């Protein structure tokens, strides 16, 4: 499975779930895959943590519910340690390894990791080379389109270097590091990288609807579209994009009943996987995101955000149901 193209051929529609720290665990990946996400990424995982066998880091590798191919995203800056971390993933089926070259957080950048690698092309190249030699899995890179500002020429140059170093696909988040998540993504950067590279290119940035996903495919010519914030609380974006891609009409938005049923199912799976305390803590933010569009939910959000048990969370979803029925 070294070839990323084979992976692309194996998926039914070209839409993938982005790596999202604190969000894309095995349960959420399962939920998005069920709605049609072709590849689902883990949150960024410390290569050092894997190398030293940290239990918290290894938890992030949990593939409890995964069915779709999983992109395991590693961050780090030491080629040898990253290669050893990759070696530990060798027995996992249906996975690819993605290298984080986009994280803007100061703690990560100060360590020379994440988007700091954009400023160190030679080191980034050595990381890709070492990792590709160390594993039979496809190795991809997720980069931003510049450090201080979007710079299309340097983005293309950097992406080409990653390709020459052995990367089997590149994701371009079309923002600079300084932009974090603000401003608009410059899809021209994705288009330019796609034109210049032979390996598959994954476009990322500002896809908040199925229509956006189709527009990105058309405008940039990218091979896959990666959806991040647009999937938070909205896994249905994948089924909608899937339908448009297949030339079908866009399915109805989920009814309030469907949303409430998913909150309850997600919460149960979260508790089953992580235990009640951690599971519910993790679930609070998902429940808030899911319930955004539901009438009456804002009044209950404070309770959702302080729920400590499955029973407490279910009480609030029960009340949401009642509100619906009394309408
Ligand atoms: C809460 C949050 C967590 C994120 N965690 C990661 C991460 O672990 N690894 C990564 O490469 N990008 C991470 N990102 C960036 C996203 O994967 C994506 O590149 C960015 O949000 C742009 O896509 P969007 O406009 O569709 O949201 C994160 C973004 C957010 C909002």
* pLDDT tens, residue by residue, 76-107: 999 999 999 999 999 999 999 999 999 999 99
Using CB atoms within 10 A of its CB, is residue 161 exposed (0-12), middle (13-18) or buried (19+)? middle
- Taking the C-alpha atoms of residue 60 and residue 42, their distance in angstroms, rounded to an integer, is 7
Q: What is the pLDDT of residues 286-310, one digit of tens each?
A: 999 999 888 888 888 888 899 999 9
Using alpha carbons, select from 38, 108, 22, 34 the residue that is nearest to residue 70: 38
- Spatial neighbors of 298 by CB under 8 A, at least 6 apart, are none
Torsion of CA 82, 87, 90, 95, to 10 degrees: 0
pLDDT averaged over consecutive 10-residue blocks of the chain (327 residues)? Answer: 82 96 97 97 97 89 89 98 94 95 98 98 98 96 97 98 98 97 97 98 98 98 98 98 98 94 96 95 95 84 91 91 73
Using alpha carbons, select from 92, 98, 185 the residue that is nearest to residue 140: 98
pLDDT number for residue 218: 98
Domains of the chain: 4-245 (3.20.20.70), 256-326 (1.10.1200.80)
- Quickly tell me which residue has 């986009």 as its tokens: 102
Residue 103 a catalytic site member: yes
- Quickly tell me which residue has 């590149």 as its tokens: 170
pLDDT number for residue 2: 61
Torsion of CA 32, 33, 39, 42, to 10 degrees: 60
Structure tokens, 220:
């940039």
Using alpha carbons, select from 7, 72, 13, 11 the residue that is nearest to residue 237: 13
Mutate to test the pocket of ligand 1, among 15, 17, 19 (most ligand atoms within 8 A of CB): 19
pLDDT number for residue 1: 41
pLDDT number for residue 297: 84
Q: Whose CA is nearest to atom 21 of ligand 1?
A: 228
- Taking the C-alpha atoms of residue 158 and residue 152, their distance in angstroms, rounded to an integer, is 10
When computed from its CA atoms, the radius of gyration of the chain, rounded to whole angstroms, is 20
Mutate to test the pocket of ligand 1, among 20, 174, 203 (most ligand atoms within 8 A of CB): 20
Using alpha carbons, select from 198, 230, 234 the residue that is nearest to residue 216: 230
Using alpha carbons, select from 36, 58, 26, 22 the residue that is nearest to residue 234: 36
142 lines ligand 1 (CB under 6 A): yes
pLDDT number for residue 327: 61
Q: Whose CA is nearest to atom 2 of ligand 1?
A: 20
């Amino acid at each position: 499975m070294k070839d990323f193209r084979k992976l692309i051929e194996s998926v039914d529609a070209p839409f993938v779930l982005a790596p999202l720290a604190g969000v894309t665990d095995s349960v959420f990946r399962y939920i998005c895959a069920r709605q049609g996400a072709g590849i689902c990424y883990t949150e960024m995982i410390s290569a050092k943590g894997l190398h030293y066998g940290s239990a918290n880091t290894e938890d992030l590798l949990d593939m409890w519910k995964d069915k779709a191919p999983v992109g395991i995203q590693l961050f780090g800056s030491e080629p040898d340690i990253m290669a050893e971390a990759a070696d530990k993933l060798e027995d996992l089926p249906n996975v690819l390894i993605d290298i984080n070259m986009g994280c803007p957080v100061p703690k990560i950048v100060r360590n020379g990791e994440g988007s700091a690698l954009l400023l160190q092309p030679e080191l980034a190249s050595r990381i890709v080379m070492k990792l590709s030699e160390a594993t039979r899995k496809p190795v991809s890179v997720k980069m931003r389109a510049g450090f201080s500002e979007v710079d299309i020429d340097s983005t293309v140059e950097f992406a080409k270097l990653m390709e020459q170093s052995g990367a089997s696909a590149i994701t371009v988040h079309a923002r600079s590091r300084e932009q974090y998540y603000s401003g608009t993504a410059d899809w021209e950067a994705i288009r330019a990288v796609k034109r210049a590279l032979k390996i598959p290119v994954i476009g990322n940035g500002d896809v908040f609807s199925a229509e956006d996903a189709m527009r990105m495919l058309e405008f940039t010519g990218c091979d896959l579209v990666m959806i991040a914030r647009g999937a938070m609380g909205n896994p249905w974006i994948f089924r909608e994009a899937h339908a448009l891609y297949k030339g079908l009409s866009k399915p109805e938005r989920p009814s309030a009943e469907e949303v409430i049923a998913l909150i309850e199912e997600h919460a149960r799976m979260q508790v089953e996987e992580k235990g009640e305390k951690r599971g519910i803590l993790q679930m609070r933010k998902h429940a808030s995101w899911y319930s955004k569009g539901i009438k009456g939910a804002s009044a209950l959000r404070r309770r959702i955000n302080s729920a400590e048990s499955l029973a407490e969370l279910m009480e609030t979803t029960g009340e949401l149901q009642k509100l619906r029925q009394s309408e």
